[in-house]
Structure formats: C-alpha cells, structure tokens
Amino acid sequence: MRTVKEIGEHGLLERLQRYCPADIVGDDGAILTTDPHKSLVVTTDVLVDEVHFSDRTTSPCDVGWRAAAANLSDLAAMGATPLGITVGLSLPGDKQVDWVEELYRGIDACLNLYPTPLVGGDICRSQVTSIAITAFGEVDPQKAILRSSARPGDAIFITGLHGLSRGGLELLLNTHKKTALDSIEQEKLIKAHQRPLPRLDVLEYLAQIPPEIAIAGMDSSDGLADAIEQICKNSGVGAVINRENLSLDSGLIKLAGEKKAEEWLLYGGEDFELVLCLPVSFASFLKEKLGKNAAIIGVVTHNTEIQIVEKSNLKHQKTLNINKGFQHF
C-alpha cells in the first residue's frame, strides 16, 4: 500500500485523471460548452495554512487577496471573463473572528477591482485552516486560450516582469535584506508578493484579435519556466527563449545578484502574468497596448527542446531545467 507522498502529486493526478473526461481537463480551468457561443470555465484552488500561507509572512487580508487573485488569474489564463467565486472555508473553533473577517475583506478587495461577486460557499470546523476557492467565468469557445494550441513559429509573449513576487517573499522572510533597496524598490517587490494583479485587463486587447487566430497560453503562477514547459508539452512543440529579452527588475538584482534574480525570474512563481503563444504581429500589438514590461521573449519551435540562448554569446546556450517547478507533497 503506497502513500500519496511516495507517488507524488503528478503520480496521484495521473491515477485520478481517469475519472475526468479527457477533453475538458489539463488547462488552468475546465471548459464546459453549454452553448455554441458561450462556454463555462471553472477553476478550483485549495490553500492550506502553513503550506500555502503563514501568519508569519502574510496578513489574513493578503491571504484573501492572493487566493482571489490566483483564481481570477486562472480565468484570465483561459481568456474567460469572471462570473463569480465561491469560498469553502475550514477553520478551527479557536480561530479569531477578526482573522476571518480580514480574510474576506482581502478577497472582497481583489474581487471588487474586476468586479466579480462572491456568490457563497461553505464554512466548517477543522483542525487546520484551509480555503478552497472555485471561480467560474465565461468565454466564447472559439476564443478560449488553451495550453495545447501553440504552433511552431508563434511568438512567445509575456504580459509583465517575472521574479518580483519571489523577491518580495525574500524581503518578508529576511527583513534585514531591505537595507539593500530604497523604499520604492522594496514596495514594488512586496506589493508583487502580497497584492498580485490577475491580468484580466489583457482580455480587452485579446478581444481585438480575430477569432480565427489561435492563442495558446496559461498563467505563470507556478513559474515562467513551468508555464513554457507546460505549453510546449501540451502542444508537442519546443521553444527558443532569447535571454536578452528576459528583463530583470533592477531592485531584484540589487537584492539577490543577477544569477539568483534570473533563477527567481524563471522558477520563482506567483507572478500571475500570462504567457501566450501567438503570431508575432499580434504579439507586437499586445506589447504596444500593455507597455514596457510586456515582451516577446522567444519563439515556438518544431523540435521539442526548450532552450535559452544568448544572442551576443552563442556559446552560452542552456537547456531549461524543467524539473524545478513546484510540486506538492
């Protein structure tokens, strides 16, 4: 009899996937087409005390914000407009009421930006605090963003900087490191960690791209490298990433040095940007609309390798280490 820890998250998911229809899972959310012009998109996340958050680094208000943001980001990653979320909360009886109210204040503050209603949920007793959020939205099935539709020649496009959230966490865990940065640099990193913004603002520009243009993609919640790998794996393609186009935040370099900062950029996670694959002309259009932190970082290739190259130094090529992504258990 094997334990969950022994087979790992991926091993467990593989065994359980037989209970799900094959055609509706594998993306940030599930798509259910109930109408030829409108599909329902559903996504679920569970956050557990001392696994995904901790009172030592995160206020309950920020826990709420981040939980809501992560789920809205999954909808954005599918190209879906949010309809609502539900919250299933498990709490020990001795939890402070103020903690719970702050949590909901954070959820509410994030939802209000978009605006998305909290439409109910469930509260129950448990020894461990956990938050299960389900978000649902709708998308024109023709315009859904999938991980599986990247095609060789597509530009690989990111909607913003990466590594900032990991930098913010570093500052919160090691407050003495703040001295390396001025207050604006500190604030930028900490805000990226505590108050990430799901990129639902991108949907407005995606709507201007003709529906016959397939857009592949997902969000970078588990890291930029993980997103590139997932898209390549699901689409049966590879990628060449141009090292020079991966911009590092200057505060991040000051905090951690260039080598560490690049590692956080690729593997840090929780930046909640979108990673999209689409024809270069439309990627350029998005870059123009989204401003300087958005970037075309590479190209989708036929062969299934994922490489990072430095044009100024062609000897300095490396294959992306795809095993560093976050795995539970």
User: Should residue 250 be labelled a site residue for its own copies when binding is judged by CB under 8 A?
Assistant: no
Pick one of 58, 72, 76, 136: the residue that binds its own copies (CB under 8 A). Answer: 136
User: What is the sign, positive or negative, of the torsion defined by CA atoms of 31, 32, 33, 38?
Assistant: negative
Q: Does 253 bind its own copies (CB under 8 A)?
A: no
Sole binder of its own copies in the list 76, 80, 89, 215 (CB under 8 A): 89
CA distance 299 to 302: 10
Shortest Cβ 195–its own copies spacing (Å): 18
Least distance to its own copies from the beta carbon of 147, Å? 13
How far apart, in whole angstroms, are the C-alpha atoms of residue 59 and residue 20? Answer: 36
Cβ neighbours of 234 (radius 10 Å): 17
Minimum distance from residue 197 beta carbon to its own copies (Å): 20
Nearest-approach distance from CB 4 to its own copies, in angstroms: 5
- Closest listed residue to residue 205, CA positions, set 111, 153, 296, 282: 282
Q: List the structure tokens of 326.
A: 């976050």
By CB under 8 A, residue 242 contacts its own copies: no
Instruction: Find the shortest distance in angstroms from Cβ 73 to its own copies.
Output: 14
Site for its own copies in 104-123 (CB under 8 A): 104-105, 107-108, 117-123
223 touches 138 (CB < 8 A): no
CB of 118 vs its own copies, minimal distance in Å: 5
In the complex with its own copies, which residue's Cβ is closer, 42 or 297?
42
Q: Which residues pair with 216 in a beta bridge?
A: 146, 277
**In angstroms, rounded to a whole number, what is the distance separating the alpha carbons of residues 277 and 152?**
9
**Which of the residues 174 through 213 are near its own copies (CB under 8 A)?**
none
Nearer to its own copies, 129 or 186 (CB): 129
DSSP string, 129-187: -EEEEEEEEEE-GGG--BTT---TTPEEEESS--SHHHHHHHHHH-GGGGGGS-HHHHH
Using rule CB under 8 A, residue 309 touches its own copies: no
- Applying CB under 8 A, among 177, 191, 195, 328 the residue interacting with its own copies is 328
Contact of 271 with 160, CB cutoff 8 Å: yes
Closer Cβ to its own copies, 195 or 260, answer by number: 195
| Spatial separation of the C-alpha atoms in residues 269 and 84, rounded to whole Å | 25
Q: How far is the CB of 93 from its own copies (least distance, A)?
A: 3
Q: Which stretch binds its own copies (CB under 8 A): 6-14, 214-222, 253-261, 265-273?
A: 6-14
Helices (H), 195-270: 203-206, 224-235, 250-267
Whichever of 10 and 316 has its CB closer to its own copies, that residue is: 10
Q: Please tell me whether residue 310 binds its own copies under the rule CB under 8 A.
A: no
Residues 47 to 86 in contact with its own copies, rule: CB under 8 A? 47-48, 51-52, 83-84, 86
Count CB neighbours of 173 within 10 A.
11
Residue from 56, 63, 73, 130 binding its own copies (CB under 8 A):
130
